[in-house]
Amino acid sequence: MNYIAIDIGGSAIKAAIVNSEGMILEKTSTPTPMTNYDDLISELTTIVNWAMAISPIDGIAMSQPCVTDAKTGEALSEGALIYINGTNPSKDLGEKYNLPYSADNDGNCAALAEVWIGRAKDVNDIALVVCGSGIGGAVVLDKKIYSGNRRFAGEFGFIINGYESDGTPIIWSANGSTLSLVKNYASKTNKEVKSLNGKLVFELAESGDIKAQESIDHFFKMFAYGLHNIQHVYDPELILIGGAISNRPDFVKNIELEFDKLYEQLFGFMSRPNVAICACGADANLIGAVYHLINKYK
pLDDT of the residue at 290: 98
Distances (CA, A) of 28 to 13, 109, 286: 9, 18, 11
What are the DSSP E strand ranges found in 49-132? Answer: 60-64, 101-105, 126-131
DSSP one-letter code for 129: E
pLDDT of the residue at 166: 95
Give which of 113, 138, 122, 70 is closest to 283, Cα–Cα: 113
pLDDT of the residue at 253: 98
Q: Would the pTM count as exceeding 0.85?
A: yes
Give which of 136, 151, 98, 153 is closest to 285, Cα–Cα: 136
pLDDT of the residue at 10: 84
- 10 Å CB burial of residue 133 (0-12, 13-18, 19+) is middle
pLDDT of the residue at 133: 84
Asked if residue 13 lies in contact with residue 84, where contact means CB atoms within 8 angstroms, the answer is no
Phi, psi for 36 (deg, rounded to 5): -160, 175
Dmax over Cα atoms in the chain, in whole Å? 62
pLDDT of the residue at 272: 96
Same fold, 2-112+284-296 and 119-278: yes
HEC string of 220-240? HHHHHHHHHHHHHHHCCCEEE
DSSP one-letter code for 64: E
Spatial separation of the C-alpha atoms in residues 90 and 77, rounded to whole Å: 15
Q: How many CB atoms lie within 10 A of CB 93?
A: 22
Give which of 190, 239, 243, 184 is closest to 217, Cα–Cα: 184
Q: For residue 20, give the H/E element and its range.
A: none
Domain 119-278, CATH among 3.30.300.20, 3.30.70.150, 3.40.50.970, 3.30.420.40: 3.30.420.40
3-state helix, strand, coil in the chain (%, to 5): 45, 20, 35
pLDDT of the residue at 241: 96
What SS3 class is residue 241? strand
Residue ranges covered by each domain of the chain: 2-112+284-296, 119-278
Domain 2-112+284-296, CATH among 3.30.420.40, 3.30.1280.10, 3.40.50.2300, 3.40.1480.10: 3.30.420.40
pLDDT of the residue at 15: 98
What string of pLDDT tens digits covers the 298 residues of the chain?
Answer: 999 999 998 889 999 999 999 999 999 999 999 999 999 999 999 999 999 999 999 999 999 989 899 999 999 998 889 999 999 999 999 999 999 999 999 999 999 999 999 999 999 999 999 998 889 899 999 999 999 998 889 999 999 998 999 999 999 999 999 999 999 999 999 999 999 999 999 999 999 999 999 999 999 999 999 999 999 999 999 999 998 899 999 999 999 999 999 999 997 788 999 999 999 998 999 999 999 999 999 8
